[in-house]
Chain A
Amino acid sequence: MITIKLHTFRVALLTAGVASMFDPALAQDATIAELTKPASSVSAGIGYWTDDRRQQGIYDGMRDRGPYGLLDLDVVKRDDATGTWLTFSGRNLGLTTREFRGEWLRQGDIGAFIEYSRIPRDNPYIVNTGLQGIGSDRLIVSGAGATAFGFGNIDLGTVRDVANLGFFKHLMPGLNFRVNFKNDRKEGTRMWGRGGAPEFAVEPIDSTTRQLDARLDYTGKVFQLSGGYYGSWYNNAYNLVNTTLNGGAAATQYFLSLPLDNEAHQVYLDGGMNFTASTRGTLKIQYTRATQDERLPTRDIAGLSLATAPTNLDGQVDTTLVQLGLTSRPTSRLSLAANLRYHDVREKTPQARYVQTGAGTCATTATCVDNTPLSFRTLTGKVEGTYRLPMQFSVIGGVDLRNQDRTIPVGAGSINVAGVDRQRYVPFRADIDETTYRVQLRRSMSETVNGSVAFLHSKRDGSAYSLTNETESDEINPIHIADRKRNKWRASLDWMPAEQLSFQFNIEDARDKYGTSAARPYGLRDGDAVLYSVDANYALNDKWQVNAYYSHDKTKATQFGQRATTGTAAPAEKLAQLEDVGNAFGVGVQGRTSERLRIGMDLQWIRNESKYPETITLTGAGTVFPAGITGPLPEIDNKLIRLKLFAAYALQKSSELRFDVIHERWETNDWTWQFANGTPFVYGTATDGTMVLADPKQTSNFVGVRYIHRFR
């Protein structure tokens, strides 16, 4: 029996093979099915990093030396008769960065999906501390001598678990309903400060963010409308952290506030209408109400709040957005676009006094603090025209206008004297106006050369400054509201000298000049930014491709300020000339050495240098720096080299083995966590004692092997 079955099978096989040989239609069907039917794959393997990668492994779930499981899935099934898709994709399933998505969809009718993604963020530093209570809302800092705690290394970091659910229903021709719900749970710990003193603390993180978006989309040939509701909720498990110093006096107990629960509800409407074949109008309306009304945690602790202070902030911010847009192409050569946008953020939180130390009038014998509700309205308008010239050239010109109007949150009543806001530490402008002119010449759709040159000029100024209660504070032009002139050039060129070879060149140059005056000499004076880059692609033949890029960027800022007398240090004026230089180079090669073997290489070299020279000109008697401080700050140099190699060998038509090798080298001389002599920074003098170490050189190698199987 067995022999007969075997013969029957062999003959059947032979028949099918020969039939396909003689019937090209059968062979063609198989080829077409392979080209047109969705395919699935599974990839499983193992990899190994030879050393820790505290800097480069912050987010990728492979920070520590050791083995890692490599598992990816991509399953796609489609029922052609009904257009029903069933898909499941999973990535990094063997790592802490795992994620998956499952979807069922009857295309054009109804569908739903579920997504999950874990996003870790590991702190790159080694922290040696005696701090007790990490991860909770009660922290105790190590004292001195007998009150010191035992020390140990701790790992800090957060993990986000993001889940997303979605549903879609096609209701009638042109009309769809969609709803999305996203739940983002974040847990872990974050480096912090104790606030009352420069001491180490750790913020406990246990919060949940939820977002719901439900919308109806109507899409017609002439008219489109989309409207819905977007709600978002933030919930924090902690609202206050109680910190004490072991053995410290009662006055060294500090309560650190945390973000409180808040929520926002938005209704929105987007519309578009084609008035004619060449003219279209759009509309955007949004109204949002955000509130924060959780009970203030310090309100219930004796001595931490004014007796008459509200127990809740009753915070409310209403935001209105209205935008109208018009685009038109009156002739085949000319197109125009214009829009007007009104964005109003209005904080309606009642103003109240929360703090008062001392008795009597706030402006004289007492120090008082009110909450500071802030409102601002931004009105922007844009007009732009494009005119198409012969030889595929076009010229674009445009003007942008931006007006911002803020409501100055001055303290109520007795806090302020003669127009001076005693609660503020920075001068303030109610109105800001900015006008931007743009012009661009571009050539597109040429056989071999495309490119553009653009120039932008903008000017920002505003109303008179409202004053603070301190002369020196008033002498600055705050960066975001200061007078500013900006000139920006941008040029790009795509050049294809041969079918197989292409280049892309980019140059960008931006220069900002900030306004100063005799009464207000301090702040940022100017800022420059340049970027050059070149990209090249070369297809040697059908089997081999090479690409490479180089990019260079430099940003500079000149910042002028005053320094008050500090200890032995004299009063002075400071001129800092900050500079950041970035260089990046990459080259990639991919090819096929045979029908079965593909190989490739990708090299990345990145260097970032930062310079902080600061010239100090003394304006009085004293030393340049206070005792125990040296300057200026040293330069910082960050370097990364990453070389990736891969080889994929096809075992069969539907399966392959892939080998990956990575060499990664990260090097820095960043002194952020160091004293002037290069030793690790330590908090406190006698107490605390937390030491933070950054590993300046991290070299690690990765080897990985995967088996990949494709199927239908």
Chain B
Amino acid sequence: MKVVRIVAAMATCMLAALATSAATAASAPKDLVLKGDAKCTTCHDEGDSPRVLEIGKTRHGTIADRRVGTCTSCHGESDKHIADAEKGGKKPAPPDVAFGPKAPTPVNARNGACLSCHQGGTRIHWQSSTHAARDVACSSCHQIHTAHDKARDRYTQTETCFKCHKEQRAQINRPSHHPVVEGKMSCSSCHNVHGDNPKQLARASVNETCFSCHMEKRGPFVHNHQPVQEDCGICHNPHGTTIANLLKSRPPFLCQECHSHTSHPSQASGLPTARTTGTTALGSVARGCLNCHTNIHGSNSTQNSATAGRFRR
């Protein structure tokens, strides 16, 4: 009885296989991922280039969204590429719009393929951005045929940015840094790499960008510290430094870039030999000048003149 069942099952399978094969041979090539992609996926199938099909895992592969195009929406009709491929033999001509590092398509044309849908929102100013002016292609940073685009993940984004920005790669690993290495921030937390603000910042100025997390520095204060109000970058390097609080230079040198008063603000750098409260001895050690001038970003105190205007209270 058991043998009969197995033989019957095998026979059913064979018949089904034969029937399916016949039907497949008779029908037109089937789309694999996108509507109308058979034009491409008859060659670029799971055996030829499986990674190409992974676009199906992405927003670009969500065909229920009627705005989603097909392969040729980005790569062009590519008639010569197809004709060459059909002839066989030699390596076919590249698609009309190709995105690989050695692709002959001009960057302007590659980006045009993306901008035909993505020109709006925060990318309105792309053409006047430094990245555009330096021939950076969208595909230089973004991976389209994958569910996990490194450039759009906070934990992996720096891999993309540091391909070019070597100075920032060196700085981000210094003892004082924003939590970028740890994945709690990314370059795009502060930068709109598709925009044309100064330094491609997310907001109109350095300070406006910093205030989005450090709003306590925004003021205005009763006693404003002028460089603080103008540009945080005068004293801080946000990418990382060897000095606490991302300072570019160490007190008293940092403060003495602007301050040349008589008395203790002009002190030479040095370390105290023992416990002291002398202000001439404390400009370099501990918090340096900030040991006393503790509200250096601005103060709202109205307590006497010697302290209020000098950010001590």
**Which residues of the partner chain B approach A636 to less than 8 Å between Cβ atoms?**
242
Q: Report how far A371 CA is from B106 CA in the complex, Å.
A: 56
Q: Report how far A690 CA is from B131 CA in the complex, Å.
A: 50
Q: Is the CB of A384 within 8 A of B62?
A: no
- Nearest B residue to A625 via CB reads B270
Q: Is the CB of A296 within 8 A of B266?
A: no
Mark out the residues of chain B between 153 and 211 whose CB falls within 8 Å of any chain A CB in the assembled complex.
155, 163-164, 166-167, 169-170, 173-175, 179, 182-184, 196, 198, 204-205, 208, 211
Q: Mark B233-254, 1 if CB is under 8 A from A, else 0.
A: 0100000001010000110010
Q: Is the CB of A25 within 8 A of B24?
A: yes
Selected contact of B292 from candidates A193, A286, A551, CB within 8 Å: A193
**Minimum Cβ distance to chain B for residue A110 (Å):** 12
**Minimum Cβ distance to chain B for residue A183 (Å):** 12
**Minimum Cβ distance to chain B for residue A575 (Å):** 11
Q: Report how far A606 CA is from B169 CA in the complex, Å.
A: 11
**Minimum Cβ distance to chain B for residue A190 (Å):** 10
Query: Contacts A36-B57, A629-B272, A636-B242: A442 and B215 contacting too (C-beta < 8 A)?
Result: no
Q: Mark A563-576, 1 if CB is under 8 A from B, else 0.
A: 11011010010101
Selected contact of B175 from candidates A304, A566, A638, CB within 8 Å: A638
Q: Is the CB of A675 within 8 A of B212?
A: no
Main secondary structure of the interface of A (DSSP, over half): strand
Asked if A461 is an interface residue, CB under 8 A from chain B, the answer is no
**Which residues of the partner chain B approach A270 to less than 8 Å between Cβ atoms?**
124-125
Q: Is the CB of A298 within 8 A of B64?
A: no
Query: Contacts A117-B184, A373-B220, A384-B133: A257 and B313 contacting too (C-beta < 8 A)?
Result: yes
Q: Is the CB of B13 within 8 A of A19?
A: yes
Q: Is the CB of B204 within 8 A of A286?
A: yes
Q: Is the CB of B102 within 8 A of A257?
A: no
Selected contact of A677 from candidates B107, B167, B205, B273, CB within 8 Å: B273
Query: Contacts A36-B32, A396-B133, A668-B175: A682 and B62 contacting too (C-beta < 8 A)?
Result: no
Q: Is the CB of A290 within 8 A of B175?
A: no
**Which residues of the partner chain A approach B66 to less than 8 Å between Cβ atoms?**
108
**Minimum Cβ distance to chain A for residue B251 (Å):** 10
Asked if A557 is an interface residue, CB under 8 A from chain B, the answer is yes
Q: Is the CB of A354 within 8 A of B308?
A: yes
**Which residues of the partner chain B approach A675 to less than 8 Å between Cβ atoms?**
271-275, 285
Q: How large is the interface on B (under 10, 10 to 19, 20 to 34, 35 or more residues)?
A: 35 or more
Q: Is the CB of B46 within 8 A of A35?
A: yes
**Minimum Cβ distance to chain B for residue A454 (Å):** 9
**Minimum Cβ distance to chain A for residue B228 (Å):** 10
Q: Is the CB of B305 within 8 A of A368?
A: yes
Q: Is the CB of A259 within 8 A of B269?
A: no
Asked if B28 is an interface residue, CB under 8 A from chain A, the answer is no
Q: Is the CB of A35 within 8 A of B50?
A: yes
Selected contact of B20 from candidates A25, A426, A479, A559, CB within 8 Å: A25
Asked if B222 is an interface residue, CB under 8 A from chain A, the answer is yes
Q: Mark A614-647, 1 if CB is under 8 A from B, else 0.
A: 1010000000111011111110101010000000
Q: Is the CB of B292 within 8 A of A329?
A: no
Q: Is the CB of A282 within 8 A of B128?
A: yes
**Minimum Cβ distance to chain B for residue A431 (Å):** 14
Binds B, one of A214-222, A590-598, A650-658, A700-708: A214-222
Q: Report how far A337 CA is from B290 CA in the complex, Å.
A: 45
How many A residues touch B, CB cutoff 8 Å? 204
Asked if A78 is an interface residue, CB under 8 A from chain B, the answer is yes
Q: Is the CB of A108 within 8 A of B67?
A: yes
Q: Is the CB of B272 within 8 A of A676?
A: yes
Asked if B86 is an interface residue, CB under 8 A from chain A, the answer is no
Best-buried of B17, B21, B163, B215 by chain A (most CB within 10 Å): B215
- Nearest A residue to B244 via CB reads A672
Q: Is the CB of B234 within 8 A of A298?
A: no
Q: Report how far A264 CA is from B61 CA in the complex, Å.
A: 40
Q: Is the CB of A59 within 8 A of B182?
A: yes
Mark out the residues of chain B between 266 and 301 whose CB falls within 8 Å of any chain A CB in the assembled complex.
266-282, 284-287, 290-295, 297-301
Q: Is the CB of B64 within 8 A of A81?
A: yes
Asked if B104 is an interface residue, CB under 8 A from chain A, the answer is yes
Query: Contacts A372-B224, A472-B261: A355 and B124 contacting too (C-beta < 8 A)?
Result: no
Q: Report how far A224 CA is from B124 CA in the complex, Å.
A: 7
Q: Is the CB of A209 within 8 A of B213?
A: yes
Q: Mark A278-299, 1 if CB is under 8 A from B, else 0.
A: 0010101010001010001111
**Minimum Cβ distance to chain B for residue A264 (Å):** 7
Asked if B259 is an interface residue, CB under 8 A from chain A, the answer is yes
**Which residues of the partner chain A approach B5 to less than 8 Å between Cβ atoms?**
7, 11
- Nearest B residue to A60 via CB reads B182
Query: Contacts A184-B213, A262-B219: A97 and B184 contacting too (C-beta < 8 A)?
Result: yes
Q: Is the CB of B128 within 8 A of A339?
A: yes
Q: Is the CB of A473 within 8 A of B184?
A: no
Q: Report how far A647 CA is from B68 CA in the complex, Å.
A: 39
Asked if A51 is an interface residue, CB under 8 A from chain B, the answer is no
Selected contact of A628 from candidates B229, B281, B300, B301, CB within 8 Å: B281
**Which residues of the partner chain B approach A260 to less than 8 Å between Cβ atoms?**
300
Asked if B36 is an interface residue, CB under 8 A from chain A, the answer is no
**Minimum Cβ distance to chain A for residue B128 (Å):** 4
Asked if B91 is an interface residue, CB under 8 A from chain A, the answer is no
Q: Is the CB of B119 within 8 A of A257?
A: no
Binds B, one of A132-140, A149-157, A309-317: A309-317
**Which residues of the partner chain B approach A418 to less than 8 Å between Cβ atoms?**
none
Best-buried of B120, B167, B231 by chain A (most CB within 10 Å): B120
Asked if B26 is an interface residue, CB under 8 A from chain A, the answer is no
**Which residues of the partner chain B approach A562 to less than 8 Å between Cβ atoms?**
260, 266
Mark out the residues of chain A between 238 and 259 whose CB falls within 8 Å of any chain B CB in the assembled complex.
239, 254-259
**Minimum Cβ distance to chain A for residue B301 (Å):** 4
Q: Report how far A629 CA is from B304 CA in the complex, Å.
A: 30
- Nearest A residue to B305 via CB reads A367
Q: Is the CB of B256 within 8 A of A561?
A: yes
Q: Is the CB of B307 within 8 A of A195?
A: yes
Q: Report how far A292 CA is from B224 CA in the complex, Å.
A: 13
Q: Is the CB of B63 within 8 A of A83?
A: yes
Q: Report how far A564 CA is from B256 CA in the complex, Å.
A: 13
Q: Is the CB of B16 within 8 A of A23?
A: yes
Asked if A553 is an interface residue, CB under 8 A from chain B, the answer is yes
Q: Is the CB of B10 within 8 A of A255?
A: no
Instruction: Show 9 A/B contacts (Cβ-Cβ < 8 Å), sorted by A.
Output: A19-B16, A25-B24, A195-B295, A226-B124, A270-B124, A296-B300, A315-B220, A315-B221, A479-B258
Give me 7 other A-B pairs in contact (C-beta within 8 A), A257-B301, A354-B308 excluded.
A35-B57, A107-B62, A193-B294, A217-B120, A256-B294, A606-B173, A640-B173
7 tightest A-B contacts by CB? Answer: A36-B56, A219-B120, A83-B64, A631-B270, A22-B17, A108-B65, A259-B216
* Chain B residues within CB distance 8 Å of chain A: 2, 5-6, 9-10, 12-14, 16-17, 20-21, 24, 32-33, 46, 50, 53-57, 59, 61-68, 102-104, 106-108, 116-117, 119-122, 124-125, 127-128, 132-135, 147, 155, 163-164, 166-167, 169-170, 173-175, 179, 182-184, 196, 198, 204-205, 208, 211-213, 215-224, 226-227, 229-231, 234, 242, 244, 249-250, 253, 256-282, 284-287, 290-295, 297-310, 312-313
